[in-house]
Amino acid sequence: MPSGLAPAELIAILTAVTDDQPRVMTLRGGEALPSGPFESSHRSLQSGLRDWIEAQTGHPVGYLEQLYTFADKDRDPRSEEVTSSQRISISYLGLVREQDAPGARRPTWRSWYRYFPWEDHRGDHSPKELPLITGRLAAWAKGDALKIQRVDYLFGLNGKPWNEELVLQRYELMYEAGLVDTPEFGAPMAGDNRRILATGISRLRAKIKYSPVVFELLPESFTLLQLQRTVEALSGLHLHKPNFRRQIDQQELVEETGEMSSGTSGRPARLFRYRPAILEARMLSGVRLPLSRP
């Protein structure tokens, strides 16, 4: 058994939230995710990537989590060619406070929804692309009961609820149906980068429900509305304000700083800070999503 020697590559999905938009750091005019070779000199995968990101962007990375490891042929289902050496790619999800380093090298932060416009359900109406997409999917699924069921489930049709976590599954369904190269249905990326981004969004949308990672995206002190807007940006959902606040203080994840917000319109709000002391004790409760507007 000859063991394959494969070069390893690290790929980062760096996410920040600004102006109520969840954003991802991109290169080459928004067409590629940042990536680089894995250096033998690094202490570990995790710390190697951390050093590399901070050097490249000037942003400290608050949270870094491994997502998935691909071999080349896994990555782009379109290419049928047989490559002799398979590159191994390890993808990571990183959360940064974009405002931390305003003066540093300006990378291009793009909204997630530029690539997945159908995933933003915050407005009063569902995204304008959705009817077109589901129409095309219905035509594609016609006759196959299993496919119809899958479309209904993934896109919340026929009484089924919209599940915001299924970003990757929806993208893969659209890929099967041949819809992902339609420019009106989201901006393209090089290779399989858009699929990797979908993986990261899925993971993060799941994670905010049972882990306090949101706070890695917020400044030191914040109002409860800021917190809610951030969760809404990530999940792409509109949340019920009173219930959201009820959950937050039931979980005792935050404490008042004593200060009040200023500079905004409307009544000033109390400022809060995250209580990292009980991080582990609250790990498995975390932020849940009390939805509203069906």
Partner DNA sequence: CTAAAATGTACTCGATTCGAGTATAAATGG
Partner DNA sequence: CCATTTATACTCGAATCGAGTACATTTTAG
Contacts with a second copy, residue ranges (CB under 8 A) = 1-9, 36-40, 42-46, 48, 66, 68-71, 73-74, 84-86, 88, 90, 146, 149-150, 153-154, 160, 163, 165, 169, 277-278, 280-281, 284
In angstroms, give the least distance from the CB of 121 to a second copy: 17
Stretch in the footprint of DNA (CB under 7 A) among 29-37, 165-173, 197-205, 245-253: 245-253
User: Which amino acid, 71?
Assistant: A
Contacts (Cβ under 8 Å, ≥6 apart) of 164: 119, 121, 205, 235, 236, 237, 289
Helix (H, G, I), strand (E, B) or coil at 66: strand
Phi, psi of 248 (to 5 degrees): -60, -45
Is residue 246 close enough to count as binding DNA by CB under 7 A? yes
Per the structure block, which two tokens stand in for 209?
């429900």
CA 166/CA 146 separation, integer angstroms = 18
CA 215 to each of CA 61, 100, 138, 269: distance values in angstroms, whole numbers, following the listed order = 12, 14, 39, 18
Q: Which does 69 bind (CB under 5 to 8 A by kind): DNA, a second copy, none?
A: a second copy
Phi, psi of 51 (to 5 degrees): -60, -45
Is residue 247 close enough to count as binding DNA by CB under 7 A? yes
Q: How many residues bind DNA (CB under 7 A)?
A: 26
**What's the start-to-end Cα distance of the chain, in Å?**
57
Among 112, 83, 89, 124, which Cα is nearest to 25's? 112
Among 112, 139, 84, which Cα is nearest to 22's? 112
Identity of the residue, 138 or 187, whose beta carbon is nearer to a second copy in the bound complex = 138
User: Which amino acid, 211?
Assistant: S
CA 153/CA 34 separation, integer angstroms = 33
Is residue 242 close enough to count as binding DNA by CB under 7 A? yes
Q: Which does 245 bind (CB under 5 to 8 A by kind): DNA, a second copy, none?
A: DNA
In angstroms, give the least distance from the CB of 272 to DNA: 9
Q: Which does 123 bind (CB under 5 to 8 A by kind): a second copy, DNA, none?
A: none
Stretch in the footprint of DNA (CB under 7 A) among 9-17, 33-41, 141-149, 246-254: 246-254
Identity of the residue, 111 or 247, whose beta carbon is nearer to DNA in the bound complex = 247
In angstroms, give the least distance from the CB of 227 to DNA: 10
Phi, psi of 227 (to 5 degrees): -60, -45
Considering only residues 79-98, where is the footprint of DNA by CB under 7 A?
Answer: none
In angstroms, give the least distance from the CB of 238 to DNA: 10
Identity of the residue, 61 or 287, whose beta carbon is nearer to DNA in the bound complex = 287
Q: Which does 247 bind (CB under 5 to 8 A by kind): DNA, a second copy, none?
A: DNA
In angstroms, give the least distance from the CB of 261 to a second copy: 31
Identity of the residue, 199 or 247, whose beta carbon is nearer to DNA in the bound complex = 247
Contacts (Cβ under 8 Å, ≥6 apart) of 152: 158, 160
Identity of the residue, 149 or 250, whose beta carbon is nearer to DNA in the bound complex = 250
CA 152/CA 173 separation, integer angstroms = 11
Stretch in the footprint of DNA (CB under 7 A) among 17-25, 31-39, 142-150, 257-265: 257-265
Is residue 270 close enough to count as binding DNA by CB under 7 A? yes
